[in-house]
Structure 1
Amino acid sequence: MPAYITATGRFLPGDPVPNDEIEDYIGRAGLASAELREMILANSGITSRHYAIDKKQQTVHSNTQMAAAAVREAVARAGLGPDEVEMLAAATTMPDLLGPGHASMIHGELGFAPLEVMTAHGICSSGMMALKNAHLQIVAGEKRNAVVVASEFASRGFKSSRYAHMRTVVEDGTLPMETAFLRYMLSDGAGAAVLSDRPAAAGISLRIDWISLTSYANTEQACMFFGSNSNDCTKTWGDYPDAMAAAEDGAMAPRQKLSLLPHLVEVGIQECEKLVAAGRFDPEQVTWFPVHYSSERMKQLLLGEFTRRGIGTARRESWFSNLTRVGNVGSASIYLILDEMLTENMISEGDTLLCMVPESGRFIISFMHLTAVAAPRS
């Protein structure tokens, strides 16, 4: 039994924030220079993003609330009532609470009738984990429909007040590059999708042909991580005497080991080549390549390597991302990409899509193959 994406939804908090207003929201941490900020932003290609905090660094929308708003829009577009949703799968990097699970909190916010929930925890790939779980439930006949949502509230962790007591700032007045980098890269929002065992009664639905998700943590180091100040992540925030001690040592600051990022391109392309060799898809027959990449620089590296290896995914005109306008919203990004493609009528019946989501966390590569189908003809 196939599963279809029949509707999507999104929630982007507030007005778009241009590059020159970033520090009006998250503030300045240490003596990060304008030159450093401009270099990071130039490589990212991002010109605007959204924040769920205001200029006083106060929360305007919680992670839970953003996710619930995206779900409501998707469910309304699908024509489902609050008593008709059978499953809620949710993904995020940093939920509002350490427990209960993010999906439980979203369910409570929505007030939908009792249903099955699951929470996927991770970084960018967690959104694909949740989607695959819901997909398999429908394929197995366990559920007739499911709603999947991915949401991120990165700005709350990048507020300048969180860096005020870090000894790494106090010692020389600057933030380490691996810490400063992410403050200008990540932003907030939520995206959702409704999955069903049949196409929508009107418009275009996306049949999920397959989802592949592979971890390379057996050979790769942690590249992007939260909750540790050690490269091997052996000492975590919970190992300190208290939360203040962990914060002072910088264990609570998100980090990106930039030297490892180029290797993510190599791993991602290797995984793509494996799928082609296994006959999972023909690159020359794919209409669209919706790709979540963290920066325009990463896109150029991917395209260059695909071209060098003669893989059809190097067709620039078929790649689609809204990174530059929406920002890097982590696990929610692929949902926001598909939502824009569907609502802007970019996809036609018979189109095939190969979605790619590489995660630098400890190197997870995921792909999803979709086929656009029209509503059944009466």
Structure 2
Amino acid sequence: MKDVYITRIAKFLPNKPVDNEQMEEKLGVINGKASKARRLVLRNNKIKTRYYAIDENGNVTHNNAQLTAAAIEALCDDKFTTKDIELLSCGTSSPDQILPSHASMVHGFLKNRNMEINSPSGACCSGMNALKYGYLSIKAGQTENAACAGSERTSSWMRADVFENEVAHLKEVEENPILAFNKEFLRWMLSDGAGAVLLEDAPNGPNPLKIEWINGYSYAHEMETCMYAGAEKEDNGHLTPWSEIPAEQWGKKSLFAMKQDTRLLGNNILQKGVDSLKQVYKKHNIGPDDVDYYLPHISSYYFKQGLYDEMAAQGVEMPWEKWFLNLEHIGNIGAASIYVMLEELVASGKLKKGDKILFQVPESARFSYMYAYLTVC
């Protein structure tokens, strides 16, 4: 089995940073009224700027596949071009269409060469699953390199026109025309962008990182759905998919908007996260003392102290000086967040040979968690 190294890292964040006062202008006002939930959500998540693939005139500037292609192109130069990539593996929560696959569309924009592609589905963990597929391919000797990416373009799912039909319908039936908090919650949380890494079977480049292992854990066998899109959640927790709902109801229910069951999220995301963290520590016989940089993907700073407290309660607290976060100025880019976090850490110049880096990426969709452990070469 071959060793696998991250040899290049890149990101692509569209347009200029959007601050909290510009958000509603970019995404649009629903029902002609400013959101009452926005300031509450922003006060809790403490995100100050994020990125949208929307220009000053409200026009879309990039789709998801274009964001991803731009990040992958940023990995390349005259010594390693897009035509040298053997495997393309791309994860996202927000593909541009149901079919073709996301990686297939990215490949179409790259216009580089015939090669293997992979499109893991899911939410935030899809970016990590994209990384693991490339890692395993190289480790098994199937390929010598792989370009792996995580990306999101959720702004298009959060624009006001996505919700207008539902608001109009609620008015018709004389119901309160205020969106449920579970729908509006994510509107003020998410950001657009893409991150990518090049994996190789040799420690090339100035800052190679050896991937020691990647592991994942799912709690779907015991947990109902928490975050979803393209479905309606019933009172019993069951999801009714869009394909079983009459087409005339899709707009009235904002069926394709992302939604979050905030009750389930708050009660479970941290406890399951630390439970899976303990499992991965046990599996590899490591603990907090074996980590120099801890990169947790958290959707909101609201969960930061809670995560630390849950670690302490379960006897595996991570000292604050080892935490590395960039949520405040980058925003929550879902599947891309861990890639962009790593890019920023490497660019900081803080890393030294032998340092150990631990990724923790949760996915609230149905409570999944992915971990990776890296060594600075």
| Shared fold per TM-score greater than 0.5 | yes
Q: TM-score, normalised by structure 1?
A: 0.94
Q: Deviations over 1:309-331 (max 9, x none)?
A: 33142x11111111110000000
Q: State the Cα distance separating 1:162 from its structure 2 match.
A: 1.1
Residues 55 and 245 (structure 1), Cα distance of their counterparts in 2 relative to 1, 3 Å cut: farther
Please say if 1:304 is aligned against 2:278. Answer: no
Name the aligned partner's letter for residue 106 of structure 1. Answer: V
Name the aligned partner's letter for residue 300 of structure 1. Answer: Q
Find the counterpart in structure 1 of residue 350 from structure 2: 346
Contact 2:29 2:35 in 1 (8 A): no
Contact 1:352 1:369 in 2 (8 A): yes
Instruction: State how many pairs are aligned.
Output: 369
CA distance in 1: counterparts of 2:251 and 2:243, whole angstroms: 11
Name the aligned partner's letter for residue 344 of structure 1. Answer: S
Find the counterpart in structure 2 of residue 180 from structure 1: 184
Find the counterpart in structure 2 of residue 376 from structure 1: none
Find the counterpart in structure 1 of residue 40 from structure 2: 39
Q: State the Cα distance separating 1:307 from its structure 2 match.
A: 2.2
Contact 1:88 1:146 in 2 (8 A): yes
Name the aligned partner's letter for residue 88 of structure 1. Answer: L
**Alignment partner of 2:366: what SS?**
coil
**Alignment partner of 2:120: what SS?**
strand
Superposed counterparts of 1:48-127, under 5 Å: 48-76=49-77, 79-127=79-127
Unaligned regions of 5+ residues in structure 1, if any?
Answer: 374-378
Contact 2:308 2:317 in 1 (8 A): no
Find the counterpart in structure 2 of residue 19 from structure 1: 20
CA distance in 1: counterparts of 2:141 and 2:62, whole angstroms: 36
Q: State the Cα distance separating 1:281 from its structure 2 match.
A: 2.0
Find the counterpart in structure 2 of residue 335 from structure 1: 339
Unaligned regions of 5+ residues in structure 2, if any?
Answer: none
Please say if 1:214 is aligned against 2:243. Answer: no
Residues 276 and 32 (structure 1), Cα distance of their counterparts in 2 relative to 1, 3 Å cut: farther
Name the aligned partner's letter for residue 311 of structure 1. Answer: V
CA distance in 1: counterparts of 2:317 and 2:308, whole angstroms: 10
Contact 2:118 2:130 in 1 (8 A): yes
Name the aligned partner's letter for residue 199 of structure 2. Answer: L
CA distance in 2: counterparts of 1:239 and 1:155, whole angstroms: 26
Find the counterpart in structure 1 of residue 254 from structure 2: 250
Q: State the Cα distance separating 1:301 from its structure 2 match.
A: 0.7
Name the aligned partner's letter for residue 46 of structure 2. Answer: G
Find the counterpart in structure 1 of residue 292 from structure 2: 287
2:367 to 363, 366, 377: 363
Q: State the Cα distance separating 1:30 from its structure 2 match.
A: 4.1
CA distance in 2: counterparts of 1:230 and 1:356, whole angstroms: 28
Higher mean Cα deviation, 183-192 or 48-57? 48-57
Name the aligned partner's letter for residue 213 of structure 1. Answer: G
Contact 2:14 2:53 in 1 (8 A): yes
Name the aligned partner's letter for residue 41 of structure 1. Answer: L
**Alignment partner of 2:42: what SS?**
helix
Q: State the Cα distance separating 1:147 from its structure 2 match.
A: 0.2
Superposed counterparts of 1:138-287, under 5 Å: 138-167=138-167, 169-170=170-171, 171-200=175-204, 202-231=205-234, 232-242=237-247, 244-262=248-266, 263-287=268-292
Name the aligned partner's letter for residue 367 of structure 1. Answer: Y
**Alignment partner of 1:29: what SS?**
coil
Contact 1:90 1:103 in 2 (8 A): yes
Q: State the Cα distance separating 1:298 from its structure 2 match.
A: 1.0
Q: State the Cα distance separating 1:286 from its structure 2 match.
A: 0.7
Q: Deviations over 1:23-44 (max 9, x none)?
A: 1110122477555211100111
CA distance in 2: counterparts of 1:169 and 1:189, whole angstroms: 33
Q: Deviations over 1:177-220 (max 9, x none)?
A: 000100000110000000000111x4221100000111111100
**Alignment partner of 1:75: what SS?**
coil
Aligned residues: CA RMSD = 1.6
**Alignment partner of 2:83: what SS?**
coil
CA distance in 2: counterparts of 1:67 and 1:257, whole angstroms: 29
CA distance in 2: counterparts of 1:229 and 1:241, whole angstroms: 12
Name the aligned partner's letter for residue 348 of structure 2. Answer: E
CA distance in 1: counterparts of 2:186 and 2:333, whole angstroms: 12
Name the aligned partner's letter for residue 39 of structure 2. Answer: E
Contact 1:66 1:151 in 2 (8 A): yes
**Alignment partner of 1:248: what SS?**
coil
Q: TM-score, normalised by structure 2?
A: 0.94
Q: Deviations over 1:281-301 (max 9, x none)?
A: 231121000110000011111
Residues 163 and 56 (structure 1), Cα distance of their counterparts in 2 relative to 1, 3 Å cut: farther
Contact 1:32 1:174 in 2 (8 A): no
CA distance in 1: counterparts of 2:44 and 2:76, whole angstroms: 37
